[in-house]
Amino acid sequence: MKVVGGRRVFSVEEVTARLATLFEGLRSFWVEAEVQDLRPSRSQVRFTLRGGHVIDASMNGVVYERLPHKPADGGLVQAYGRMEFWRARGLVSMRVERLELVGEGLLRAQVEELRARLAAEGLLDAARKRRPPLLPRRIGLVTSADGAARADVLTNVWARLPEADVVAVDVPVQGDDAPRLIARALRYLDALPEVDVIVVARGGGSLEDLMAFNGEPVCRAVAASATPVVSAVGHERDVTLCDLVADVRVSTPTAAAAAVVPSREALETHLTDSAQALGRGLLRARAGAEEALRGRSGALARALRGRGELAGDRVERLAPRLAPALRRAAAAAAGRADRAQAMLGLLSPSRTVARGYAIVREAGGGAVVADAAGVEPGRELELELRDGRVRATATGRLS
């Protein structure tokens, strides 16, 4: 310091030294901010911590490298450290010792960490994926009883297959209990022998809302399920780990329904087409056989006549016997084909009913009753006739 013309003048070093004393003894603290302008380097990682204002910050490169979850630019963090003053440039910056992700950034990092672990175990491999059966005996549904997803899936399943049989387990789809109870529901349904496919459903939501489906309990339960699992969680853009582990991933209730049940209408059409194809195939084979038989009968007669130069009298005797034998063989084959063909019509239940037969079921539209042996007197039955249904009671067995 010098005094010039009544004015006290400091050197820069004196100013910075004085400022430095103000920063001595400051305590470390936590601050929450967005990380920006990350400049990683081996020795010193620099970045800014942004709230409404901005603080420059730095962290030891080795410590930074060891962070379990590194922040992305713009990610929300909580940083622990203290303010430092750099004398040479008169700058203030925060010396960060600990850096933790919070909010979405943390969730994303946790999801990514689990994804990598599941992938390393091969649980996301395409080769593990199984196709659900075409026509499941029963369908397991894991979702919230209050959610729109439940009604949407059921409506679409029944629209495709009105007879679909569903076991629905109500679970919380978010919150602390969700992972445990969703996993429990999955294990329970997997153990039910008739459940051939399980649908896990939830509407869209924030990353936090969907976290149960990004957690280990649910992913493990899905991976362990011997029954194929269809994941219908969130919308198209929200991919969860549950989606990745599941055998089938869908993003709409309509697609979920298509993944678990066939369209009744399409099946009926296919079966009818197949029945007709069988009939056509048989008729074609019969026509071919008759053709071949006619050809052979002619060839045989010619052959016999050819040899007949030696034994003409034998041909004369044989020919009348041979023709009827050939005709009989042809008729037998044709008859067999005709009988088989006739069964085509008999096998269609609706045509059977239309011809005056009835379908007998247990009362209340239950299982089809095919055998008299199981019908005790007094049993309530339902008869399906051409134009409606009739309630009936068995009074006794005839034979």
Contacts of 135 (CB under 8 A, 6+ apart): 161, 261, 262, 267
Closer to another protein by CB, 317 or 336: give it.
336
CA–CA dist 185, 195 (Å, integer): 12
Q: Would you count residue 129 as binding another protein (CB under 8 A)?
A: no
The binding track of 34-73 with respect to another protein, each residue x by CB under 8 A or -, is ----------------------------------------
133-152 positions binding another protein, by CB under 8 A:
133-135, 137, 142, 145
* Of the residues 365, 377, 378, 396, which one makes contact with another protein according to CB under 8 A: 365
Contacts of 392 (CB under 8 A, 6+ apart): 380, 381, 382, 383
Beta bridge partners of 392: 381
Only segment of 44-52, 89-97, 107-115, 303-311 that touches another protein (CB under 8 A): 107-115
Closer to another protein by CB, 280 or 305: give it.
280
CA–CA dist 276, 269 (Å, integer): 11
283-302 positions binding another protein, by CB under 8 A:
284-286, 288-289
How far apart are CB 230 and another protein at their closest, in Å? 16
* Of the residues 40, 306, 312, 366, which one makes contact with another protein according to CB under 8 A: 366
Name the residue among 347, 154, 146 with its Cα closest to residue 261.
154
- Is-contact 393 380, C-beta < 8 A? yes
- Is-contact 48 36, C-beta < 8 A? yes
How far apart are CB 114 and another protein at their closest, in Å? 6
How far apart are CB 307 and another protein at their closest, in Å? 28
Please give the order of strands across the beta sheet that includes 138-143: 138-143, 195-202, 229-233, 248-249
* Of the residues 73, 112, 177, 265, which one makes contact with another protein according to CB under 8 A: 177
Contacts of 91 (CB under 8 A, 6+ apart): 56, 85
Lookup result for tokens 């020795």 = 43
How far apart are CB 172 and another protein at their closest, in Å? 8
Retrieve residue 220's tokens: 């493990």
* Of the residues 102, 303, 349, 390, which one makes contact with another protein according to CB under 8 A: 349
First to last CA, the chain: 127
* Of the residues 148, 340, 372, 390, which one makes contact with another protein according to CB under 8 A: 340
* Of the residues 184, 318, 360, 381, which one makes contact with another protein according to CB under 8 A: 184
Closer to another protein by CB, 96 or 123: give it.
123
